[in-house]
Structure 1
Amino acid sequence: MNRRITLNRRVALADEVYARQVRERCAQGGILLVNLIGSPGAGKTTLLERVLPQMPCRCGVVEGDVATSRDAQRIAACGVPVVQINTGGGCHLEAHLVLRGLEDLPLDDLDLVFVENVGNLVCPAEFDLGEDFKVAVSSVPEGADKPLKYPSLFSQAACVVLTKTDLLPYLPFDEELFWKDVESLNPRGRRFRVDGLRGDGAEEWVRFLAETLETKRCGA
């Protein structure tokens, strides 16, 4: 008999407990928790650098990386509280790590917390961190075929953000195909385009986040 199935179930159940604790802690403070998932170099940190100064609410960030605190340093330069979590080789964040990270943030003074997950399109999509929703971040240089290649993430995400759109004139990116594939996987998901250099389009995503936060608080 293969006992590995039972072990995996126990691990998953333990993670669900932590995810529930994260969700409860955020609910107590009316905090919106957003899980950013994308490949290395997709522009997740740059996206945060563009939107954080525009956010009409108080934000914090949990940074997930295999090693270094370089992304956390970039976020700290935006003037928001940030906690760095290094997995030491792990390909994704787990709920118990996020719970620990939240303990180091001034949650009583925050309205929204971004979790920038470890760069990966596979594993992070399968783990519940207690977030309100996942965001799929994909960039023009990665190519237009990513939604169908990684359907789990793109079908779960509440919104898809296409970054580095300033490179569209220079790269063979079939944007029509990209959004068509997103639509086939997730017809209800919201879609945004952001120019990483100038930040064009970031204001639309900021508006979506602010409206979602307000909806959560009105329903609390």
Structure 2
Amino acid sequence: MCRTVDLHQAVLAKNDTNAVELRRTLDERGTAAVNLLSSPGSGKTALLEALLTRAVAGGTPAAAVTADLATENDATRLARSGAPVRQILTDGLCHLEAGMLWGKLDGWLPEATRLLFVENVGNLVCPASYDLGETLRIALASVTEGEDKPVKYPAAFGLAHLVVITKTDLADAVEFGREAFLAGVQQVNPGVPVIETSARTGEGVDDLLAHVLRAADGLETHTPVLARQHEKHLHHHGGEADAKHEHPHDRAAAHLPAGSPR
């Protein structure tokens, strides 16, 4: 008897299991993971450096893991903030997976860490499918990329708990269509909050950090429509989520069983 196996779904199922376990482990130690997704050149690293610098200065224990196909340039930049930083080199892989992240945290992440920022590989396609055990998923886009990014990449923006516009100091120069961008965001992710930022001028950085801290405390509760649909899919197929354990993307601070990635 022949049986067809969807290898892609099998990989995602294993990742979701690892993400569930990682999320509970981080939750038990009081650490909130923040998954940052964007295309290359969005200004993600500059904004993250500003966030880490403000967190450290304000007494919030924060750390960062940054992923790239090659070089440790981003980790070197982020370390200037004074926060603990680690680099993951993916050797060509276009996304992070929960098991990869767990392996980098084991024995390294300081016990008192309140915020763990994860700078994903610069890509708006592959990373959108992989839950990393995050409390908060943020999709970023710069004004220089154009206003159609949300509708062109509906999974990346549709599964985000928060959308961030970067490089707003360049908006006038590049004739950024702000209203069209916001309309596109609401089309793929109704009700998702949007914060406008500039790492260069500091605009919106404090607001973004405040939002992240509220999410870490369980006070930001936006649930993307796509996450609810995925949860129903898992229920139907007997997946990881059930009435007791919601799908990892479905709310900010899930209390889930401990374990280690397999």
Matching residue of 2:108: 105
Could you say what secondary structure the match of 2:218 adopts? helix
Could you say what secondary structure the match of 2:104 adopts? helix
Describe the superposition over 1:12-33 as per-residue Cα deviations: whole angstroms up to 9, x where unpaired.
2221222122112101111111
Of residues 149, 167, 173, the one that matches 1:164 is 167
* 2-structure distance, mates of 1:31, 1:102: 12
1:192 equivalent to 2:195? Answer yes
1:155 equivalent to 2:148? Answer no
Aligned length: 219
Describe the superposition over 1:133-158 as per-residue Cα deviations: whole angstroms up to 9, x where unpaired.
21001001111110000001111101
Matching residue of 1:35: 35
Offset, 1:184:
1.6
Offset, 1:106:
2.7
Contact 2:136/2:212, CA 8 A, preserved across alignment: no
Contact 2:38/2:124, CA 8 A, preserved across alignment: yes
* Root-mean-square deviation (Å): 1.9
Matching residue of 1:86: 89
Change (3 A) 1:219 1:185: closer
Matching residue of 2:12: 12
Contact 2:52/2:63, CA 8 A, preserved across alignment: no
Could you say what secondary structure the match of 1:134 adopts? strand
Of residues 185, 205, 210, the one that matches 1:182 is 185
Describe the superposition over 1:112-133 as per-residue Cα deviations: whole angstroms up to 9, x where unpaired.
1010000000110111111112
Question: Identity over aligned residues, as a percent?
Answer: 38
Matching residue of 2:239: none
Offset, 1:9:
3.4
Contact 1:194/1:202, CA 8 A, preserved across alignment: yes
Change (3 A) 1:18 1:139: same
* 2-structure distance, mates of 1:150, 1:9: 20
Of residues 93, 117, 122, the one that matches 1:119 is 122
Q: TM-score, normalised by structure 1?
A: 0.93
Offset, 1:83:
1.0
The one-letter amino acid paired with 1:138 is: A
Could you say what secondary structure the match of 2:41 adopts? coil
Structure with bigger strand share is 1
* 2-structure distance, mates of 1:61, 1:8: 28
Q: Which moved more, 1:208-217 or 1:101-110?
A: 208-217
Offset, 1:3:
3.6
Runs of 4 or more above 4 Å deviation: 216-220
